Structure 1
Amino acid sequence: MGRERTAAGSPSVVDEVTGSGRRWQGSKLGQGQQGQQGQLTFCCSSSPSPSPQAQTERLKVRLAGYPRKHNEGRVELFYKGEWGTICDDDFTITNAHVLCRQLGFVSATGWTHSAKYGKGQGKIWLDNVLCSGGEKSIEFCRSRGWGNSDCTHDEDAGIVCKDERIPGFLDSNVIDNNVRLKGGARVGEGRVEVLKNNEWGTVCDDRWNLQSASVVCRELGFGSAKEALTGARMGQGMGPIYMNEVKCVGHERSVWNCPFKNITSEDCQHTEDAGVRCNTPYLGLESTIRLTGGRTRYEGRVEILGSDSNGTQSWGLICGENWTTKEAMVACRQLGLGYANQGLQETWYWDSSNVTEMVMSGVKCTGSEMALSQCQHHKSVSCQKAAAKFSAGVICSETASDLALNAPLVQQTVYIEDRPLHMLYCAAEEDCLSKSAAQANWPYGHRRLLRFSSQIHNIGRADFRPKAGRHSWVWHACHGHYHSMDIFTHYDLLNANGTKVAEGHKASFCLEDTDCYEGVSKRYECANFGDQGITVGCWDLYRHDIDCQWIDITDVKPGNYILQIVINPNYEVAESDFTNNAMKCNCKYDGHRIWLHNCHIGNTSTWSTLNT
C-alpha cells in the first residue's frame, strides 16, 4: 500500500517529477550553424526577437492528433498562413510548460515524441526548440528558426497539459475531432463514427473505398488507409447512421468535405457500418514482449524484454498480483494479437521457459495504452508471490464482445412507484432494498422505487458469455432461474459532486437473448437451466416491472441528481470497448415526480451541469 508508481520506461511520455522517459540527446544543428536569413538561430541568439508576423498577430497554437483527450495532442503552429508541427529534437518539459500556458492550461504534465498522436501534415515549423520557462509564447524560445528543420513528421512533438484552465482563457485552440474509430483492437483501426449535433453516428459501407478511408485516416493523424472495411467488420454501432455512398477524391481534409448521401430508414442498417485500418508508424513495441508455454500463439505467460544497469538485455516475468483484463488488453495489443479474452494471475500450467525473474510488478493500466511500459507500475519490483508460477498470463482473441446500453429507453421508461412492503419480501431476501428497509414496520408501509428498463445490446463480434461455469451458477428461488453473474450492472444515483446517495441492490443476473435484429437467431435463455449469454446482434432486456429492476430512493431528498448505469463494471468479461459501458442522465426529483434528460453513453454528448 502506498508504493510509489511510475511510468518510467515509457517510450512516449516524460514524467515531470521523476524526469523519467526518453530524452533526445545531441542536436542535429552543428556548432555555429546558422538559421535562415531573418529568422532565429539556435546558436547565436539567446534573446531572439519575434518575427514580423508574430509582432503583428498572436501566434496560433493548437493540439491535434488521435487518440487523445482535450488537454493533450500533437503541437501545431499557424505561421505564414499554414499549419505545421514542431520536431521533437531537444524537446523538454519546459517547452511543454510554455505551450500549455499559451493554450490556456496552467502547466504541462508531460510531453511525447515520435509522433505519438499521429504524423502531422505540411511544414515542420520549429526544430531544436529550447525554452527557459518564462516565455509567454513558443515563438520567443530559441530554435533553429522558422521552417529550418531536418526532421520528418515521424518526429512530431506532442504535449500533455494539466487539465486545469488559467482564469480568463475561453479557447484552448484544441481541434475537436468530428471523426473517431471505435471497436478496433489495434491503434489506427476501428468502426468509423462521425459527430453531428453533439451525437456520434456511423457511416454506411455502400461504395466505401480506400480513397474515403484514407481521408478518415489522415484526419485522425495517421497515414493513408491500408484497408477499407465493410460489413461491420469492427462491430455494429448504435444510434444514427449519418452518411451513405461517401465519395472522397482523397485529398479532402475531413470526411465531412466529401460528397455523400443522407440516410433514409431503408438505405442501411448497422450491419453495414464502415470501418478502416490505417497505415501506422512501426514502433517496434511487439519486439519487447512475448508469450511462452501456451497451447496456441494467442495464449501464454507474458515475458518482457528489459535492460539492467549495464545495458544487458534479458527476458523477465510480470507479477500476477492484481493483473486484470485491462492489463491483458494492453498486452494483447502490444503483441498484435487482437483483444484480451482473459487476464491470468497464475501460469503454473504454462511453465515451459527458463525465465524465472520478476522484472515488473504493480502494473495498472487504463486499457488504452499501446504497451505495458506506458502503464503505471512499481518503481522497484515488489511481489508477494514471486515464484514464476504466479506470473501474469493472457489469452488473446481476434474477436470480442461489446456491450452498450439503450440510453433513450431508460429515459422513456423511468417512473416512481410506491410499492407496499408486503409485496417486497422476495426483494428483501435478494437484498434489493436500501438498508433502512430492515427497520421498516413490515408488512405495513411502502418503499419508493425509481424504476426503468435496461436494454443491453451486444454490438461486438463475439458472444458475451459469463466467466463462471454452469457448475457455479446460483439458483434463485424468488426468480425461478439460475444467475450466472453476481455483478453485471450497477445502478447508482449520485449527487452533484459524484457521491452516491442511493444504489440498486440487484443481487445477480441471468443473461439471455430477449430479442435480436432481423436475421439473427437467439442462442441463450435463462429458463430450464439453459446456456446464458448475449449473442452478437441481440439484446437482453430487463423490463421496468420485474423484481429488483430499480433503485430504492425512499431516503432520498428532493433535488438534482445524476442517474448512472454501468455494465460489466468490474471488467469481469473481456470486451473490445469499455468506453461505452457507462450511461449517465441528469435527474430532477421534486419529492413526487422524477424527470430524466440528457441520457447519454460515455462521451457521446456534452455533459450538462446540474442546476442547484
Structure 2
Amino acid sequence: MAWGEGCGQRGRSAVSPYCSCSCPPRLLAQRQQHSFGLHGVACVGTEAHLSLCSLEFYRANDTARCLGGAPAVVSCVPSPLYAASSGQKKQQSKPQGEVRVRLKGGAHPGEGRVEVLKAGTWGTVCDRKWDLQAASVVCRELGFGSAREALSGARMGQGMGAIHLSEVRCSGQELSLWKCPHKNITAEDCSHSQDAGVRCNLPYTGVETKIRLSGGRSRHEGRVEVQIGGPGSFRWGLICGDDWGTLEAMVACRQLGLGYANHGLQETWYWDSGNVTEVVMSGVRCTGTELSLDQCAHHGTHVTCRRTGSRFTAGVICSETASDLLLHSALVQETAYIEDRPLHMLYCAAEENCLASSARSANWPYGHRRLLRFSSQIHNLGRADFRPKAGRHSWVWHECHGHYHSMDIFTHYDILTPNGTKVAEGHKASFCLEDTECQEDVSKRYECANFGEQGITVGCWDLYRHDIDCQWIDITDVKPGNYILQVVINPNFEVAESDFTNNAMKCNCKYDGHRIWVHNCHIGDAFSEEANRRFERYPGQTSNQII
C-alpha cells in the first residue's frame, strides 16, 4: 500500500511515554489536503511496532476522512547515544526523582546487563519474574525502542557489588523501572548469576553500510575499508595502521555489527587487499564508545602515514564475546598495611624493578624500604576467558620468582595527589596469569606451574596475596598527607575486554608518616557522578571522617 498519514483524532494516544502527541491547530484547516492511511489507532504502549496496535485502514474512495481530527504528530526523545553521535544538544533533564539506568556488557548498542542507581551506587537487577514488559520500560527509559528480548541468567555477564531490585513487575507503560512494583533485595534472595539483561529494538542508522572487511578468513576478520564521498561519487579506501589499536578496533567491530574486537591490527599484509589500495583515513583515535569511526578523532582530508603501502593498514578480528576484568576493591581495603622491609630481603624485588628509583642509591644491604602492601584479586566476569596477548614463545622467565611472565604490563599501582599527580608507583608490571580460585560450578583451566597455559577463566579469579614479592607500592619517599590509591588493570588495553570503564579502582588514603588509612575503595564506574565528586573532595574533609 502507499504510505499515508495517520489521523490524529483527539482523545487517543498511540505513542510511548517518551513521545509527545499533538494535533497542531494550524493543520486543522488544511486537513483536506492530506492523504490519510490510518485512523482509530489505539495502543497500550508496550507494542514493538505500530502494526501491533488496534487500528483501521481507510478504504479506497472513503469520503469520511479523519472527521474531527488532523494529521498525527509525534516528537520523540532519542537515546543519548544517538543524540551525542548526531551532534544534537544534550537532552533535557529527566523528570525530577527519576533514577538513572544503564546497560553493561553488551556486544551491541541497546543490549546489556541492566544496572540501576540507588543511594549513589550502581547495582544489578535480579531476573526473578523478569519479563518483556519490564525490559521494554528499561529500553524506553534509555531512549531506545521497546525490548526485543528479556534476558535472564546473567547472559550479559555478571555484575559485581550490590543487587538492588528483584521480582520487578511492570505493566510496560512506566516512565522508569523504579516506578514498577518490585521487591527490595536481601543477600539471600539472589546472586549475580541471576543478573537480568535486555536487548532493545534500535532505530536504523545505516552506519554499517559505510564500512566493510576484506581479505579475512571469515566475515569476522579482515582489512578495514571505509566509504568516503557523497551519493553517486563515493569510493572505498583503507585506513592507515599508525596508532590503530584495541579501542579503534572496538568501534569498527561495533559499526559492523560484529560485537567486540579481539585484536586491532596495524599490519595486514597476510590478507588479500583486492582492488582497494588507496589509504583514505589516518590518525584515527577513539575512546572506544563511539558508534562509528567517523565519530572518532582523525586527520582531515590530508592523509598522513608514517609507513606507506597497503601492508601497513588497519585490520580487525571481531568476536561476539569478550572477557571483563574487575578488581575486588573490598579486599584491597581490608588487606592494606605498611611494612618496613629490610633491604637485604629485597634483592629479588630490586632485580625486577619493584622499588622506587631512589632505592638504587640506598646503602645496600643496610636500611629498609617502606612498602604499602595489599592483596589483589582480579575477577573475570565477562563471557570469554582472558588470555595474554603474547604467545608462549615470547613469555619471559623470572628466575627470582620461578615462573614465566606472560604480559609486560598488566597492572599499574599508583599513589596520586588529589589533583592527580603521581607521587609513587608500583612496578608490578609483569604477571603470571592463572586461576587461583573459581566459582563452585567452574573448573580451573590455567596454571603457571610447569610452563602451563596462562589466563583467567570466566567465573575465576587470580589472587596475588599481600605477602607476595612486588605486591606493593614503595612509599619510602612519600610525605604525610591525603592521597588516592589507584589500581588499573590492563592499562594499555593490550587485551580486548567488553568493558574498560571498570578496570580502574580507587581508594581514599590518609598517611601520617607512620600509619595509613585506606577506605572508600570502589571500582571506577561503581558510583554516581555526585558520589564521585564527594570522593574527590575527600582531602578537604576532616580527619574524624576517616575510618
In the superposition, the TM-score normalised over structure 1's length comes to 0.73
Are 1:153 and 2:60 an aligned pair? no
Aligned to 2:173: 251
Q: Select 2:403's aligned residue among 481, 497, 507.
A: 481
Residues 532-556 of structure 1: CA distance to partner in whole angstroms, max 9, x if unpaired?
Answer: 0000000111111100000000000
| Matched residue, 2:280 | 359
* Alignment partner, residue 264 of structure 2: 343
TM-aligned CA deviation for residue 604 of structure 1: 1.6
User: Is 2:134 aligned against 1:212?
Assistant: yes
How many Å separate the matches in 1 of 2:265 and 2:332? 35
Q: 214, 236, 242: which one pairs with 1:321?
A: 242
- Gapped runs of 5+ residues in structure 2? 1-15, 25-70, 541-547
- 1:424 paired with 2:346, answer yes
Other structure's SS at 2:332 match: helix
Q: 1:563 to 1:172 in 2, by over 3 A?
A: farther
- 2:368 aligns with 446
Deviations 1:316-339 (A, max 9, x none): 100011000000000000000011
Distance 1:119 1:211, change over 3 A: closer
Kept in 1, the 8 Å contact 2:19–2:74? The answer is no
**1:222 equivalent among 140, 144, 147:** 144
AA aligned opposite 1:327: E
Following superposition, the deviation at residue 359 of structure 1 comes to 0.7
Distance 1:594 1:347, change over 3 A: same
Query: Deviation string for 1:456-497 (max 9, x for gaps)?
Result: 100000000001011111111111111101110000001111
Task: Give me the whole-angstrom Cα distance separating, in 1, the residues matched to 2:239 and 2:176.
Answer: 42
Q: Could you say which residue in structure 2 is the equivalent of 1:332?
A: 253
The Cα of 1:610 is off from its aligned counterpart by 3.5
User: Would the alpha carbon gap of residues 395 and 268 (structure 1) be closer, same or farther in structure 2, given more than 3 Å must change?
Assistant: same
Contact 1:587-1:594 at 8 Å conserved across structures: yes
Rate the CA distance shift 1:559–1:247 in 2: closer, same or farther, 3 A. Answer: same
Give the letter aligned to residue 312 of structure 1: S
2:77·2:143 contact (CA, 8 Å) conserved in 1? no
- 1:512 alignment counterpart: 434
1:495 aligned residue: 417
Residue 226 and residue 446 in structure 1: after superposition, are their counterparts in 2 closer, same or farther (change >3 A)?
same
State the 1:311 CA deviation.
Answer: 5.6
Change in 2 beyond 3 A, CA 1:399/1:155: closer
Residue 112 of structure 2 is aligned to residue 190 of structure 1: yes
Matched residue type, 1:320: G
Partner of 2:485: 563
Q: Distance in 1 between matches of 2:377 and 2:178?
A: 32
Cα distance, 1:206 vs structure 2 = 1.7
| Alignment partners' CA distance in 1, 2:98 and 2:262 | 33
Query: Deviation per CA, 1:176-218, whole angstroms, max 9, x where unpaired?
Result: 7521100112111100011112111111112211001001111
SS at match of 1:350: coil
Q: Secondary structure at the match of 1:214?
A: helix
Please state if 1:122 is matched with 2:43.
Answer: no
Amino acid in structure 2 at the alignment position of 1:532: Q
1:20-39 superposed matches below 5 A: none
Give the letter for the 2:539 counterpart: N
1:566 is displaced (CA, Å) by 0.4
Structure 2 counterpart SS, 1:201: strand
User: Does the 8 Å contact 1:405/1:457 carry over to 2?
Assistant: yes
The 1:172/1:189 distance shift into structure 2, 3 A limit, reads closer
Whether 1:538 aligns to 2:460 is: yes
2:337 alignment partner, one of 415, 435, 444: 415
**In structure 2, what is the Cα distance between the partners aligned to 1:179 and 1:288?**
31
Cα 1:175–1:574, aligned 2, differ >3 Å: closer, same or farther? farther
Cα deviation, 1:210-254, whole Å, max 9, x if unaligned, reads 001001111111111011111111111001212222111111111
**More displaced stretch, 363-372 vs 594-603:** 594-603
Q: CA deviation at 1:302?
A: 0.5
Secondary structure of 1:465 counterpart: coil
Q: Is the 8 A contact 1:228 1:276 kept in 2?
A: yes
Q: Distance in 1 between matches of 2:429 and 2:250?
A: 28
Distance of aligned partners of 1:416 and 1:162 in 2 relative to their CA distance in 1, 3 Å threshold: farther
Q: Which of residues 536, 545, 553 is equivalent to 2:475?
A: 553
The separation in 2 between residues aligned to 1:333 and 1:119, in whole angstroms, is 29
Query: What residue number does 2:539 align with?
Result: 611
- Aligned partners of 2:111 and 2:198 also within 8 Å: yes
The equivalent position to 1:275 in structure 2, one of 197, 203, 221, is 197
* Aligned AA (1:324): G
- Tell whether 2:272 aligns with 1:374: no
Identity of counterpart residues, as a percentage? 72
| Contact 2:433-2:462 within 8 A present in 1 as well | yes
Secondary structure at 1:449 match in 2: strand
Cα pair 1:119 1:222 within 8 Å, conserved: no
Find out whether 1:396 has 2:318 as its counterpart: yes
**What is the alpha-carbon root mean square deviation over aligned residues?**
2.6
Tell me if the contact between 1:119 and 1:153 (Cα under 8 Å) persists in the aligned partners: no
Measured in 1, the distance between the counterparts of 2:433 and 2:248 equals: 26
Q: CA deviation at 1:122?
A: 2.1
Deviations 1:314-367 (A, max 9, x none): 111000110000000000000000110000001111124100111100000000
Q: Offset of 1:571 from its aligned partner?
A: 0.3
- Residue 507 of structure 1 deviates from its aligned partner by 3.8
Matched, 1:579 2:493: no
Q: CA deviation at 1:161?
A: 10
Deviation at 1:611, TM superposition (A): 2.1
Q: Normalized against structure 2, the TM-score is what?
A: 0.81
Residue matched to 2:57: none
Match of 2:160 in 1: 238
- Counterpart amino acid of residue 280 in structure 2: V
The corresponding residue for 1:179 is 101
> Partners in 1 of 2:98 and 2:518 — Cα distance?
28
Amino acid at match of 1:282: Y
Contact 2:410 2:429 in 1 (8 A): no
Equivalent-residue separation in structure 2 for 1:175 and 1:341 (angstroms)? 40
Divergent runs of 4+, >3 A: 123-126, 148-152, 154-163, 171-177
Assess if the C-alpha contact under 8 Å between 1:124 and 1:153 holds in 2: no
SS at match of 2:270: helix
- Tell me: CA distance 1:593–1:571, structure 2 relative to 1, closer, same or farther (3 Å): same
- Counterpart CA distance in 2 for 1:278 and 1:172 is 20
CA shift at 1:120, angstroms? Answer: 4.2
**Could you say if the C-alpha distance between residues 542 and 285 of structure 1 is closer, same or farther in structure 2, counting changes exceeding 3 Å?**
same
CA distance in 2, matches of 1:526, 1:414: 26
In structure 2, the CA distance between the partners of 1:611 and 1:151, relative to structure 1 (3 Å rule), is same
CA displacement 1:353-389 (0-9 Å, x = unmatched): 1001111000000000000000000012111223111
In structure 2, the partner of 1:466 is 388
Uncovered stretches (5+) of structure 1, i.e. residues with no partner: 1-117, 127-147, 164-170
1:511 aligned counterpart, secondary structure: coil
Classify the secondary structure of the residue corresponding to 1:283: coil
Is the Cα–Cα contact under 8 Å of residues 218 and 224 in structure 1 kept in the other structure? yes
Distance 1:180 1:403 in 2: 19
Distance in 1, matches of 2:472 and 2:23, equals 58
